Amino acid sequence: MQDLDQKPYIAITIYNDERKQIARLDIGPFLGTAGWHEERRTFAIPQQAREAIIRIGLFGARGSACFDKIEIKKAK
């Protein structure tokens, strides 16, 4: 049986210069069946951020997920 927290999403974990996690930013979860569409998010990044890990996946969910043209840009 699938747990309720097992959902597909994009997770960005942000770390400081001591590699301590200081933020986690999520896009999703993506549930059910949907046609192709665009998702956009703007996040405030903590001033002390030094690196990030981007994870994309089902995270335990069943089925499939397709992502295309993932971009990260500095906002104006």
Task: Choose between 23 and 75: higher pLDDT.
Answer: 23
Arithmetic mean of pLDDT over the chain: 90
pLDDT digits (tens, 9 = 90+) for 52-73: 999 999 999 988 888 888 888 8
Looking at residue 47, the DSSP 8-state letter turns out to be T
C-alpha distances out from residue 58 to 2, 30, 66, 76, Å: 12, 9, 10, 31
In a domain, 1, yes or no: yes
Q: Is residue 72 part of a domain?
A: no
Report yes or no on 60 lying in a domain: yes
Residue 10 included in any domain: yes
Domain that holds residue 61: 1-27+52-65
* Residue-level pLDDT at 1: 53
What's the CA gap between 20 and 14, in Å, rounded? 8
Please tell me which residue, 75 or 18, carries the higher pLDDT value.
Answer: 18
